[in-house]
Amino acid sequence: MTIQPKTVKNEGFSIHTIETKQFKTNQVVVKFRAPLQKENVTARALLPYILQSRTKRWPTTASFRTHLDDLYGATANVDVTKKGESHILSFSVDIANERYLKDTTPLTKEAFTVLAEILFNPLTEGDGFSAKVVEQEKRSLKQRLEAARDDKMKYATQRLIEEMCEGEPFALHPNGLIGEIDALTPEILYQTYKQMLSEDAIDLYVVGDVEHEDILEFCQELLPFQTRPPYENENKTSVQKAESKKIVERQSVKQGKLNIGYRTETVYGDEDYVPLIMMNGILGGFPHSKLFINVREKESLAYYAASRIESHKGLIFIMSGVDPGKIDRASTIIQEQLSAIQEGSISDKEVDQTRAVMKNQMLETLDAARGIIEVLYQSDICGNPFTIDEWFEKVEAVTKEQIINVSKKIMLDTTYILTGKEEA
């Protein structure tokens, strides 16, 4: 089909080039991956922000950002996420393809220079990072974590995960723990950085109008990562509770959030993974799905009611925003939709629609550089169980029986409700 990455695997450091003329800018992303764990999650969450704040060559934010602007508005961003129980730090630079500029000086290598500067040349003092930078970024992270709690939709999602996966690494927010920030010193952070550089599994992706050979050369010259032992991290997917859990929390909000978490016992690459994502599509992935039709269109209970898969930990989350007085009703209808699938109540039309929109959604995702990288990375981090082409073949071949079978593995784990203070 479409995306044919050229990949070179060094020990612990893989380079993936996707040569395409589809875009007017070229994107370079480096991803660092380590096990998600309480001991260093907060320090790691801070690192990308410290590193991209300023460097030895660009010792002020202004000088660094001016350099990027002068490179025809190159963008440099960092991102901290988790996939399953892996903690992922991403550094990306997106830069104009000079073919579309009046000034045709080559720019792609400049993106590597910027990344190399961020990753290898941080502003340091003694055995640590610059104390000033660390203080500012600590304050900023604190505020980011607090503000994330102020977004009720995000807050409810994170609270469900915390309650559901209590005691498991997956409960951790990738941005870390607010209570751990104060204890982080420039020295501890620098150690964490050194460890990231020498031990994390690293994947570099380049999407754009580039040549794989040039990319390899740029990497050799500018991003000389040492070899490292292979990445090992077991996602524990099978954690069964004796009894499902229900948490109700009150704040002064007008709309209740009803979020429900299930265990699927199925992760990316498993035999029944594709049936599972089809099942999720039928349940709540789209506007033709059971949740949208029944919770929203038929009962007018919610504006949004949707389900989402966590592909590497084996979870499904259902999220909805409902009037506080109608949470029980919504909860009943939501549970009925899953039961209906488990009992085999799926029409051929639902399967066909879901198949069609799943394929469409994947093709659309692959129409953006970032989408291409995320799709490839999802597969690269678990040993490429199938190619993108095979993904399409599998979606095409899924049967209703397979969908019903995988749905029977799904177990209710935790219901989390955020509701108003008045109604009690």
Partner 1 sequence: MEKKKYDQLQEELYFEKLENGLSVYVLPKPEFSKTYATFTTKYGSIDDHFIPLGESKLVKVPDGIAHFLEHKMFEKEDGDVFQRFSEKGASANAFTSFTRTAYLFSSTSNVSENLSTLIDFVQAPYFTEETVEKEKGIIGQEITMYDDNADWRLYFGAIQNMFHHHPVKVDIAGTVESISKITKDHLYQCYNTFYHPSNMLLFVVGSVNPEEIVKQVRAIQDGKSFKPQPPIERHVEEEPSHVFKEHAQLNMDVQVPKCMIGMKASNVDLKGDALLRRELAVNAALDILFGRTSENYTSLFEEGLIDDSFTFDFSQEQGFGFALLGGNTRNPDKLTETIKSILTREAQNSTITEEQLNSVKRKNIGGFLRSLNSPEFIANQFTRYAFNDMDLFEAVPALETLTKDDIAAALSDLARPEKMTSFYILPKEKEESE
Residues 237-276 that bind partner 1 (CB under 8 A): 251-255
Query: Taking the complex as a whole, how short is the minimal distance between the CB of residue 110 and partner 1, in angstroms?
Result: 12
Structure tokens at 105: 């000086």
| DSSP designation for 211 | -
Q: Which residues of 348-376 are buried (b: 16+ CB within 10 A; e: fewer)?
A: eebbebbbebbeeebeeebeebebbbbbb
Query: Taking the complex as a whole, how short is the minimal distance between the CB of residue 20 and partner 1, in angstroms?
Result: 7
Q: Is 65 in the site for partner 1 (CB under 8 A)?
A: yes
- Bridge partners for 249 per DSSP: 418
Q: Could you give the C-alpha distances from 29 to 14, 160, 225, 371, in angstroms and in order?
A: 12, 31, 15, 12
Q: Pattern 149-168, binding to partner 1, x per CB under 8 A?
A: xxxxx---------------
Taking only Cα atoms into account, the Rg of the chain, rounded to an integer number of angstroms, comes to: 23
Query: Taking the complex as a whole, how short is the minimal distance between the CB of residue 73 and partner 1, in angstroms?
Result: 3
Nearer to partner 1, 107 or 196 (CB): 107
Query: Taking the complex as a whole, how short is the minimal distance between the CB of residue 62 and partner 1, in angstroms?
Result: 5
Nearer to partner 1, 95 or 184 (CB): 95
Beta carbons of 82 and 161 less than 8 angstroms apart:
no
Nearer to partner 1, 28 or 302 (CB): 302
Binders of partner 1 in range 71-90 (CB under 8 A):
71-75
Nearer to partner 1, 251 or 384 (CB): 251
Beta carbons of 387 and 226 less than 8 angstroms apart:
no
Binders of partner 1 in range 329-358 (CB under 8 A):
349, 352-354, 356-357
Binders of partner 1 in range 2-61 (CB under 8 A):
2, 20-25, 60-61
Binders of partner 1 in range 173-212 (CB under 8 A):
none
Q: Pattern 296-325, binding to partner 1, x per CB under 8 A?
A: xx-xxxxxx----------------xxx--
Taking CA 423 as the corner, what is the angle to CA 421 and CA 424, rounded to the nearest 5 degrees?
A: 90
Q: Is 360 in the site for partner 1 (CB under 8 A)?
A: yes
Sequence-distant (6+) residues with CB within 8 A of 258 are 319, 320, 321, 322, 327, 330, 331, 334, 415, 416, 417
